[in-house]
Amino acid sequence: MNDAERAGRFAAEALEYGCGLIRPGENALEILDKIEELIAKKNAKPAFPAQISINQVAAHCVPDGEVVLQKQDVVKLDVGVHCNGLIGDNARTLVFTSEHKKLVEAAEAGLKAALDVVRPGITLGKVGAAIEDAIKQRGFKSVRNLSGHLLQQYEQHAGLTIPNYDDGDATRLEEGMLIAIEPFATDGSGFIEERKDSGIYKVEQVKNVRDAFAREMLQFILKEYQTLPFAKRWLLRKFPVVQVEFGLRMLQRDGVLHQYQQLWEKAAGLVSQAEHTVLIGQPCVVTTYLQ
């Protein structure tokens, strides 16, 4: 296996393992820690902090240590792994009752529809149309301002977006592209908005940093995570809390770091998610299938 295939396989195994931990009464943050421990045991690294986003929160959520899963929750688990910077990215939605099963099936149907049509030469708009049609047929809305994305070495969102509706984009997929297809379905408005800090950061640009504490922390971030997203709680394993708080504040102020915001459904609708990573070719290969 090459690095992209290994990353996809490890991401799929980590997602499967994490889904097995998700039950009512379990602590969400402890689940994420266990997933990341499994990734480390495979001599791989997270491509981004593992995330559990619940109910109206669509994405970018690392719950604090007080969040316990409830029986009525719609739980989205998003896990990524990288091997030498090449990424496998996948996600799944779990529910504990039959009440929201159709919402889960809608996102899964959108993903299957995309996988059925994706190939070299297809336009992004047609991929988005397939996703939206499948979700609409099940009585839900596709979240329009969330999308899949091109994956490149040490770059999770590499510029190209894979829409979840027909946005008319005539850009064509090319052989050799590695993409994440990521439908979101909702019973709400079909749009998300940024609300709360996530504790997930990414290096935006490297600059000279005058403060010694902040400079030391930035050097560690660049060595360990390069341009991939990382979690504040990861830094707390290396640095004192006061230094982490101060360093993050300084690095954000200077435009070195960007903090992702939690993404909430605009009308407080429930959201489901499904995701696979695909290597475009003849044929296309879903790297995050468990085989």
- pLDDT one-digit tens code per residue, 208-240: 898 999 999 999 999 999 999 999 999 999 999
| Domain identity same for 254 and 186 | no
Low-confidence ranges of the chain (pLDDT < 50): none
256 and 209 Cβ atoms separated by less than 8 Å:
yes
Annotated catalytic residue within 13, 73, 108, 182: 182
Classified as helix, coil or strand, 77 is strand
CATH of the domain at 144: 3.90.230.10
- Extended strands (E) in the chain: 45-46, 51-54, 57-59, 74-83, 86-95, 141-142, 148-151, 161-162, 178-181, 184-186, 192-203, 230-231, 257-265, 271-273, 276-279, 285-286
| Domain identity same for 160 and 255 | no
Domain count, the chain: 2
| Domain identity same for 239 and 144 | no
| Domain identity same for 83 and 33 | yes
**Residue 182 annotated in active site:** yes
| Domain identity same for 137 and 218 | no
| Domain identity same for 155 and 238 | no
Report if residue 207 sits inside a domain: yes
Report if residue 147 sits inside a domain: yes
pLDDT of residue 250: 95
Residue range(s) defining the domain that contains residue 106: 3-194+263-286
| Domain identity same for 282 and 233 | no
Number of other CB atoms surrounding residue 239 within 10 Å = 16
Report if residue 145 sits inside a domain: yes
> Which residues does residue 73 pair with via DSSP β-bridges, in sequence order?
none
Annotated catalytic residue within 3, 26, 133, 157: 157
Q: If we measure between CA atoms, which residue out of 270, 284, 278, 280 comes closest to residue 104?
A: 270
Report if residue 15 sits inside a domain: yes
| Domain identity same for 49 and 144 | yes
pLDDT of residue 1: 79
**Residue 89 annotated in active site:** yes
pLDDT of residue 10: 98
205 and 126 Cβ atoms separated by less than 8 Å:
no
**Residue 149 annotated in active site:** yes
Q: Is 291 exposed, middle or buried (0-12, 13-18, 19+ CB in 10 A)?
A: exposed
Annotated catalytic residue within 149, 166, 265, 276: 149
Report if residue 291 sits inside a domain: no
Give the integer Cα–Cα distance in Å for 193 and 272: 16
CATH of the domain at 208: 1.10.10.10
Report if residue 33 sits inside a domain: yes
193 and 151 Cβ atoms separated by less than 8 Å:
no
**Residue 132 annotated in active site:** no
| Domain identity same for 129 and 243 | no
Q: How many residues are listed for the chain in this entry?
A: 291
| Domain identity same for 246 and 121 | no
Report if residue 117 sits inside a domain: yes
| Domain identity same for 147 and 236 | no
Annotated catalytic residue within 89, 105, 132, 265: 89
Average pLDDT, the chain: 97
| Domain identity same for 148 and 250 | no
136 and 183 Cβ atoms separated by less than 8 Å:
no
Report if residue 43 sits inside a domain: yes
pLDDT of residue 158: 87
Positive or negative torsion for Cα 55, 59, 64, 68: positive
